[in-house]
Structure 1
Amino acid sequence: MSMICFQQIKRYLHISDINSEKLYWFDKVEPLMSHVRNISKQMYVPGSNVAIDEMIVWFSGHSKHTFKMKNKSISEGYKIISLCEKGYTYTFVLESHVENNNEIQSIFGLSKTGSLVSYLVMQLSNSRAYNIYMDNYFASMPLFNYLRIKGYGACSTVRTNSAIFSKELKVEKSIRLNWDTLARVVVNNVLIIFWMDNSPVHMLSTIHGIKDNE
């Protein structure tokens, strides 16, 4: 079969019923997407340390739901927020910057991103304690407080431009400090850490603590 012949046939193959009502922009890949997600959760039990991160599925066609990120190895495509452990994707959700997913309930006090993180974390089993690791795209003190109340630990790098971030630990990059300089403070039951590497590193944690002799 030639490639052109295959492409002509492929135009008439659909994952979803083309006559059914579409509730979300990603319904064209349903019910296959939900089936993959449900089977992924049945086939694997993650350990105590899991991570939340974004993945990009490359796509450069015309779609208002794609993201463009110049500094990423895949600079354009569909964004998937996933909860993973050791290379295994336990669960995931698609994200669009123009359309909300009504499956993700808005949580009072949390941003849209924070509510999305909670949606993924709450799909974990209640049979063990979990520590959630993430990068500064997701991290915020309200989210960490919310996860702590729900019984989950969290740790992440964090951006310092938030109004609720401790002013004591905001250090300009132009200030020269010795390598391995360390400072920390607890704000609203969240540990804020400053560490001097080649440049300042700021972190939030509800997993770690401060020793009395430090």
Structure 2
Amino acid sequence: MIKFSGRLAFRQYMPAKPIKRGMKVWMLCDAKSAYLSNFDVYLGRQENRTEHGLGYNVVMKLTEHLRNTFRWFFFDNYFTSLPLLQRLMDFGLYACGTVRVNRVGFPKDLKKPRDVRNRGESKVLQYGDTNLTATVWKDKRLVHHLSTLSDPRDTRDAQRRVGREVLRLQQPHTVFAYNQFMGGVDLHDQFRMKYNVGRCSKKWWSYLFWFCLNCAIVNAYIIYKATSTRITKKKRYSQLDFRQELFRALIGGYSKRKRSVGDVDRPVLLEENIHGHVNSRLPGQRTTCKYHKRYLNQRKETVYGCAICNVHLCKDGCHAHFHNRNLQAA
């Protein structure tokens, strides 16, 4: 939900959510990294598009670009239905999710089975010779799943703590996979809301713009963490570090205060700016040049340096020499 309380034709009210009024956005995220792959803004009920329900239409639209890739998808009981899993399987996609027992086609024998009474007991039914299985597992309460990615005979270990006692249980692979991979959208929302960028406005489109900007920043951070081999001063490069570095690069030498052209601290656009490193004036007092101190055993103070590595390097070619030596060492 994108919080917005102004006038808007497709504004939604969801009293059970932390954000009760605003624009509803459907999101498709990676289960492990939380990378946002696709999203769709809910514009209200559309004509002739609710044959199998809203959840069916949303999942089919978000996964359209991933058909025949044999990926796994996980969703909660709002989306899970028998026609949806069958249709996804026709398009070469496997899925798993909790399901409401009043869904059309869900087996009556699994709604309240008499032979599943104790904690850790389960019952699995398979739909013909297909991959579609319906599962009920007794935890504190009965948990129901539909899946097309699990072997009905496969079971995994599970632990539950009751006071000081640890219970060792058996759970179907469907339950294990759902608990392991569910939550990519929630993780992306956590990244996005932790350092939310935005301004108050009376225009609904500005809130949608800030949402897209925040999602782009989070996706950029996720890609950077997965692919970057750059050596940083900090052992743990957090999202806050990434955002601060990004904002410094976007701001550059801009200042609202009027200054002469010679006083503007703009990044030096020379051949020294190699491998994504930017040579510019660093905030603070003069500090010893890192290249002179480490490699030349000399002391030379400067206010310039690499804005990316946050290392002081004088303008006498030290910027390029320092980074070239680091690349050769790596």
TM-score under structure 2 length normalisation: 0.42
**Cα distance, 1:72 vs structure 2:** 1.4
Structure 1 residues 181 and 161: alpha-carbon distance in aligned structure 2, compared to 1, 3 A threshold: same
Paired residue for 1:166? 107
**RCO (CA 8 Å, sep 6+): is it higher in 1 or 2?**
1
Q: What is the CA–CA distance in structure 1 between the aligned matches of 2:127 and 2:20, rounded to whole Å?
A: 36
Tell me whether 1:177 sits opposite 2:109 in the alignment: no
Tell me whether 1:87 sits opposite 2:34 in the alignment: yes
Structure 1 residues 199 and 60: alpha-carbon distance in aligned structure 2, compared to 1, 3 A threshold: same
Q: What is the CA–CA distance in structure 1 between the aligned matches of 2:36 and 2:62, rounded to whole Å?
A: 11
Equivalent AA in structure 2 for residue 97 of structure 1: G
Contact map agreement 2:67 2:92 (CA 8 A) in 1: no
Q: What is the CA–CA distance in structure 1 between the aligned matches of 2:85 and 2:146, rounded to whole Å?
A: 8
Structure 1 residues 148 and 125: alpha-carbon distance in aligned structure 2, compared to 1, 3 A threshold: closer
Q: What is the CA–CA distance in structure 1 between the aligned matches of 2:146 and 2:42, rounded to whole Å?
A: 25
Paired residue for 1:207? 149
State how 1:128-207 maps to structure 2 within 5 Å. Answer: 128-171=69-112, 177-187=117-127, 189=130, 190-207=132-149
- Overall identity of the aligned pairs, in %: 29
**Cα distance, 1:125 vs structure 2:** 6.8
Q: Which runs of 5+ in 2 are unaligned?
A: 156-171, 173-330
Contact map agreement 2:97 2:145 (CA 8 A) in 1: yes
Structure 1 residues 201 and 150: alpha-carbon distance in aligned structure 2, compared to 1, 3 A threshold: same
Paired residue for 1:113? 55
Structure 1 runs of 4+ off > 2 angstroms? Answer: 109-113, 211-214
Determine which structure has the larger helix proportion and give its number.
2
**Cα distance, 1:129 vs structure 2:** 2.2
**Cα distance, 1:176 vs structure 2:** 8.7
Determine which structure has the larger strand proportion and give its number.
1
Measured on the aligned residues, the alpha-carbon RMSD in Å equals: 2.8
The aligned length equals: 151
**Cα distance, 1:197 vs structure 2:** 1.2
Contact map agreement 2:116 2:138 (CA 8 A) in 1: no
